[in-house]
Amino acid sequence: MASSGTTTYYYIYFGNPQASAPSNTDNAFDIGASDALLVCPFDGAATCAASETPSTSSGAIRYSAAKSALSFDGFDDKVAAGNVSSSIQTIEFWVYPNSTTQNLIDLNATQTIDISAGTVRANNFTGATIYVNGAATSTISANTWSHVAITATTAVSASAVNLGLISSTYFGGLLDEVRMSSVIRYTAAFTTPTTPFVRDEYTKLLYHFDENGDDPRQTGKAIDDSGNANHGTITGAKYVDGLVGVDSSSTTGYLSNSSYSSHNGIFLEEGTTNKITNPSFEHGTYSTNWTATTQTYSLSDEFTTARAAGAVNGTSAEPTGGTRTVVDTESKLSIASSALTFAGGKAAPAWGDPGIWYPIQTRTAGKTIVGEFNKSDDNYFHLGFSTSASGQPSDGLEVYPVSTGLTARQNDTIVAVVGSYTTSTLYKTAIVLRGTGYYLFIKGGIYTNWTLLYQTALGSTAVYPVISSYNSISTADNIRIPTSTWLPTPLAYDTFTRADGAIGSSETTGPDSQTTPSLAWTGGAISSNKNVITPSLGSEMWDAPASRFDSGTYAWTPFGTNTVANVDNTLQMTYVDNNVGAIEIFKDADDLNSNLTVGTWYQFSVDASVNIGTASIFFQNPGTQYLPARYGVTSATPTTFTGVFRSSNATTDFMGMADLSAGKVGVFDNPSLKPLTLSSLFSSVSTSDKDVVASADVTLTAGTQAGVVTNLDSAGTPANFLIAYHDGTKVYLDKNVAGTYTNLISATTTYSAGATLRVVTYHSDASTLKVRVYYNNALVGSEQTVTDAGIISNTLHGLFSTYSGNTFDNFTLFPRGSDNEYSDIPGDNDGLVTVSENTTAPYYKFGSKSLKAVSTYSGTVTASINAGNTNTHTFSAYVYDGTSGNVGGTVSTSIADLVFNGSPVTTVYTDAGGGWWRLSYSGTPTASATSYGVLVKSGKTIYVDGVQLEEKGYATTYADGTLGTGYAWSGTANDSTSTRTVANLQYATSSNINAAAGSISFWVKPTTAVGSISGDQYLFDVRSDASNRIALYMDASEDDITLNTNGTETSSTGITMAGDAWQHFVITYDFTADAYKVYQNGNTTPVISTTTSLTAPSLPTNFNLGADYNNANNLAGMLSDMRTSSSVYTSTEINHRGPIHRYAQGRHNDQ
């Protein structure tokens, strides 16, 4: 305010750092007529008002919110403040950027504030002056706190404010004390503020970020202290609260002495032992006790030493793998330029001459041979395994002339053409053995990523690695068999081996016992360990009299001079001169109640017989389809035949009896025609992959259709998809685009019950989907091209059937590899994981270091630990994704998994803020040394910190011996196990608790939601014995809170008590009026209310906070602003939830 100026704005700040302590101690905190007895703000100490100290204060007691701020992960976190003001002239904030290029604040999609190469920029401002740490400069550093102020001579319209997001790029780091003002607050260098900003009439937005967790007064919001209610909607960003060991105080903001919606607190924890040594990589040698995996090989031949033709046989693989056995009768095989070179074949070409074999390998599922080849001509080449050390190789990739392409060989037989290739191009192939059969992968040329070409299911013997030429000019290199096994992970796999009925979800174990996602099926059911799809039938379309042949022959038309007659209410067709007895056209004008709908599937049935020999039932639409086989009618006794067809014309599709001849009389009765509901023909699972290898073993009733659906748009309202199916005679591939079918493949193919139908889809470019269909391991037709936008990006896949008599088994769905799903195939790089010490990670949880792990191929970083027993243990670690393109993004199984007891495990991922995620797993260890750590997925860069193995059924907060009171190392710091002693906090009841009546209020922020806790957690317990007690606890069995008054327990019903969110509770009790109530978050309707007749309890000497009377069932979380009162609060007093007076003056941490 200017000198001699006036204002109508006056504020009294309850938490003013310049305020002096009240002289009347506890009475300063009376609420109305309610006398305050014990008043504990827990703002950095357990000492309460009137200097009252706890009777017991021991163990791991820590204090939170000393420097609360808001953390942004740089990936998808923001705060949306909306329309703040059109007259902003000063914008200021404290910032801790993770790097020197960051997007900070978007004011209106045009005027923005960012950091570029260490320079703060006010983009599109007029008359802007930038101050950093009080100086007129725009230079700023990363990984340190700086105060930034920007003034503008021309007001800025802050009409669409986003903190942490400009356009589509997010901020990574911390923000604190954000203020926007409608006045120029700085005209020259100034002293950086060290206390929270105070609002005045020019303040349009003021975020202290001192909430230290979600506050029920503004759920999901950053609370605005300007008085203008510009509360910001938080997306993803997390509060960091200065709690050592949870959020390092070196990276959080101000002391929370602002009274506006702020929370300090005391953090109470249960005891634990962390069995990991060097758990936060703070040892002088950061990687002490940790080991990163590197790849080793049973065979690795890099052909280092040049050898002339005829001199390769009997030499050793380089660097390892045993003796090379060579067949080369005409000296066509040599080693030159670190590659195996084939100079063609014999004058009379023969497989295996020339060829090179390596020592026999025991077949193990997951054993992989990886190799490179480059074929410069149009002849034959083989790389894979063989059951003998000479002659024609038996299994693997066989490269035929370009006109044929890449083929899969199995058990000495070419089973399928699986892909194409280009000469003079370097390719890598990987053949992954199964218990029986193998998976075939390729990379190179059009195959940008490792691509699954095919899978086979035959062959189970030991094998020899082999490279062979059949007159080919080619090279091979880097032939390797890693000692580690690897198997591809299916998107889904199901043998349907479970009880009849609802289909549920796909199995969690894949075809080779690999862990597999469980995906929910839509459609289908289990019957006799098969998937059966029962189509929904519409209403009967055949006119009832015509179906019964009540009289006459209706619309049946004989061919030639054949005769038709109604005999005993059946249609009798007598041969005279045409093998087609009679036909009926499916249309309203004849015997149907409506015309057909083009593209709709219809189920037709009829009772048919023939007096002698055989006859057939056929459809014309327009191609001939026979039911159920061409010569299906073989009996003089009526037999019901059922079939399905898809209409191609509304009024010209027809059916009839054929193959009549002299002396034959065919009979029809009870014809029926019903439409099928399209959505009921599918049984599908939802994935994230549009390029897949989908297969199933199919058994069908001829004349119906069964097969595989891929790239389906919707299970409920399907309109765009591909279906490949057999009908007993042919294999078809059809596409449906917006309800219109187009046939792509139609090939006569011998049907075999239970044979595998396989569909491969992959994108050759962004707008082109290629499709191959295989039946019984043979390519059907040719590769097809689909460019329909409605199909090519769909990710539902599954099964298709038009009849309930058809069955499916062994459904297998793998990603094709187009999205780099197989990047972790081992073998073509020596290193798996490279680790380094990191001291510049974007955000630290514990100490000053973390471990950086870069994975070329999936590998582990582990420590060898003896858990000591087989009791349930929980293993956890904090992980940050530093991979380019996902820095600070979500950590999931595609980034990293935990390794527990020596094996990767199904991991739980919890967002810990700032891009960090806590990974956890609970299980049973062995009582001997084994590995625990992190599996880093192929191509990923991560940071790891705060690793913990504890004998609990759940993860507690991180513990090591550096974290202060209640924490200790068992031996050398950062090289031994560590313990946390359970917190024990008690206060005297005398003068603090009134036995007859009173109120107890407090804020609590549990670490875990009440519905997810593993055991009861007490908030307080005042207990002499079971009949003299007042206690409130989070009830694990009820998923609610429970009040115990003298042994009588009353639980709430269905309250919301989220983890990491503040809740305010008031407990009122009156043993005279027999009224006991619990209120939550200022709501005057109690969540617990009971009127049990009780006597005022005899009070103990002390009462417990954050635990029961035995200091067990401990709270894992934070308590703040506790008051006890000598009387029952009124409804007005219940809503008094503001923070208790704070005395301390804060100072910004400039570390």
For residue 542, what are its two tokens?
């055949």
Fold type of domain 69-262: Jelly Rolls (2.60.120)
Residues 6 or more apart whose CB falls under 8 angstroms from that of 168 comprise none
For 179, the enclosing helix (H) or strand (E) is strand 172-181
For 651-686, what is each residue's pLDDT tens digit?
988 889 999 999 999 999 999 999 999 999 999 999
Q: Does domain 297-482 have CATH number 2.60.120.200?
A: yes
Instruction: For the chain, give the percent of residues with pLDDT over 70.
Output: 92
**Partners of 384 in the beta sheet?**
396, 466
Residue 1148 confidence class, pLDDT cut points 50, 70, 90:
very low
For 668, the enclosing helix (H) or strand (E) is strand 665-675
Residue 733's pLDDT is 97
**Residue pair 771/784 in contact by the 8 Å Cβ criterion:** yes
CA distance 397 to 148: 63
Residues 6 or more apart whose CB falls under 8 angstroms from that of 587 comprise 595, 596, 650, 651, 652
For 1086, what's the count of Cα atoms within 13 Å in the CB-facing half-sphere? 19
**Residue pair 673/646 in contact by the 8 Å Cβ criterion:** no
Does 170 have pLDDT greater than 60?
A: yes
Residue 845's pLDDT is 60
Residue 243's pLDDT is 40
**Partners of 785 in the beta sheet?**
770
Burial class (CB in 10 A: 0-12, 13-18, 19+), 33: exposed
Residue 914's pLDDT is 83
Residue 1114: DSSP 8-state: -
Taking residue 770's Cβ as centre, other Cβ atoms within 10 Å add up to: 20
For 844-898, what is each residue's pLDDT tens digit?
567 788 999 998 777 899 999 999 999 999 999 999 999 998 988 999 998 999 9
What are the residue ranges spanned by the domains of the chain? 11-65+264-270+982-1151, 69-262, 272-294+831-980, 297-482, 492-536+678-815, 544-675
Nearest CA-CA partner of 943 in 833, 852, 844, 849: 852
CA distance 757 to 860: 38
CA distance 444 to 428: 6
**More confident site: 605 or 30:** 605
Taking residue 374's Cβ as centre, other Cβ atoms within 10 Å add up to: 17
For 393-417, what is each residue's pLDDT tens digit?
989 998 988 888 999 988 888 888 8
Question: Of 46-50, 53-57, 576-580, 1146-1150, where does mean pLDDT reach its minimum?
Answer: 1146-1150
CA distance 395 to 369: 12
Residue 658: DSSP 8-state: E
Q: What is the mean pLDDT of the chain?
A: 89
CA distance 773 to 776: 10
CA distance 263 to 1138: 9
For 895-930, what is each residue's pLDDT tens digit?
999 999 988 899 999 988 888 999 999 999 999 999
Residue 1130's pLDDT is 87
Taking residue 297's Cβ as centre, other Cβ atoms within 10 Å add up to: 20
**More confident site: 159 or 843:** 159
Residue 241: DSSP 8-state: -
User: Cis ω on the peptide bond leading into residue 1006 (within 30° of 0)?
Assistant: no
Residue 241's pLDDT is 65
For residue 700, what are its two tokens?
């069908």
Asked if the domains 69-262 and 272-294+831-980 are classified in one and the same CATH topology, the answer is yes
Residue 248 confidence class, pLDDT cut points 50, 70, 90:
very low
Residue 15's pLDDT is 43
| Antiparallel, parallel or unpaired: β 169-170 and 473-482 | unpaired
496-523: average pLDDT: 95
Residue 622 confidence class, pLDDT cut points 50, 70, 90:
low
**Residue pair 385/491 in contact by the 8 Å Cβ criterion:** no
CA distance 357 to 704: 49
CATH class belonging to 11-65+264-270+982-1151: mainly beta
Residue 29's pLDDT is 74
CATH tag for 544-675 (out of 3.40.50.720, 1.10.260.40, 1.10.510.10, 2.60.120.260): 2.60.120.260
- Backbone phi and psi for residue 249, each to the nearest 5 degrees, phi listed first: -65, -15
CA distance 129 to 187: 9
Residue 824 confidence class, pLDDT cut points 50, 70, 90:
confident
**Distance from the Cα of residue 547 to its chain's centroid:** 55
For 532-588, what is each residue's pLDDT tens digit?
999 999 999 999 999 999 999 999 999 999 999 999 999 999 999 999 999 999 999
For 350, what's the count of Cα atoms within 13 Å in the CB-facing half-sphere? 12
Sign of the CA dihedral running 255, 258, 261, 266: positive
Token pair 């060991």 is found at 245
Does 253 have pLDDT greater than 70?
A: no
441-457: average pLDDT: 93
**How far is it between the farthest Cα atoms of the chain?**
124
Residue 307: DSSP 8-state: B
**Partners of 179 in the beta sheet?**
92, 206
For 442, the enclosing helix (H) or strand (E) is strand 438-444
Residue 283: DSSP 8-state: S
**Residue pair 423/471 in contact by the 8 Å Cβ criterion:** no
Burial class (CB in 10 A: 0-12, 13-18, 19+), 627: buried
Residue 424's pLDDT is 95
Does 1137 have pLDDT greater than 60?
A: no
Token pair 């580690």 is found at 484
**To 5 degrees, how large is the angle CA 667–CA 671–CA 672?**
165
CA distance 362 to 364: 6
Residues 6 or more apart whose CB falls under 8 angstroms from that of 249 comprise 66, 67, 242, 243, 1149
Residue 1151 confidence class, pLDDT cut points 50, 70, 90:
very low
**More confident site: 699 or 1014:** 699
Residue 602's pLDDT is 95
CA distance 915 to 247: 13
For residue 885, what are its two tokens?
């393109």
Residue 20's pLDDT is 47
For 425, what's the count of Cα atoms within 13 Å in the CB-facing half-sphere? 17
For 295-344, what is each residue's pLDDT tens digit?
789 999 999 999 999 999 999 999 999 999 999 999 999 999 999 999 99
CA distance 214 to 234: 10
For residue 114, what are its two tokens?
């960012």
For 407, what's the count of Cα atoms within 13 Å in the CB-facing half-sphere? 25
Residue 140's pLDDT is 96
Residue 115's pLDDT is 97
**Residue pair 863/277 in contact by the 8 Å Cβ criterion:** yes
Residue 257's pLDDT is 43
Measured torsion, CA atoms of residues 732, 733, 736, 737, in degrees rounded to the nearest 10: -140
Token pair 């039938």 is found at 537
Does 242 have pLDDT greater than 70?
A: no
**Residue pair 171/102 in contact by the 8 Å Cβ criterion:** yes
Q: What is the DSSP string of 366-403?
A: T-EEEEEEEE-SSSEEEEEEESSSSSS--EEEEE--TT
CA distances from 86 to 584, 1006, 1061 (A): 77, 40, 33
Does 246 have pLDDT greater than 70?
A: no
Rg (CA), the chain: 38
CA distances from 399 to 351, 373, 1103 (A): 12, 10, 80
User: Exposure pattern of 583-606 as b/e (b: 16+ CB <10 Å)?
Assistant: bbbbbeebbbeebbeeebbbbbbb
**Distance from the Cα of residue 476 to its chain's centroid:** 39
Residue 201's pLDDT is 93
CA distance 80 to 63: 30
Does 197 have pLDDT greater than 70?
A: yes
Residue 11 confidence class, pLDDT cut points 50, 70, 90:
very low
**Residue pair 963/974 in contact by the 8 Å Cβ criterion:** no
Question: What's the CATH code, domain 492-536+678-815?
Answer: 2.60.120.560
Residue 210 confidence class, pLDDT cut points 50, 70, 90:
confident
Please report, for the chain, how many H helices and E strands are present, in that order. 3, 86
CATH tag for 272-294+831-980 (out of 3.40.50.2000, 1.25.40.10, 2.60.120.260, 3.40.640.10): 2.60.120.260
For 109-154, what is each residue's pLDDT tens digit?
999 999 999 999 999 999 999 999 999 999 999 988 899 999 999 9
Residues 6 or more apart whose CB falls under 8 angstroms from that of 715 comprise 522, 523, 679, 682, 684, 686, 796
Residue 251: DSSP 8-state: G
**Residue pair 342/374 in contact by the 8 Å Cβ criterion:** no
**More confident site: 462 or 1054:** 462
Nearest CA-CA partner of 660 in 580, 598, 587: 580
For residue 382, what are its two tokens?
């083989």
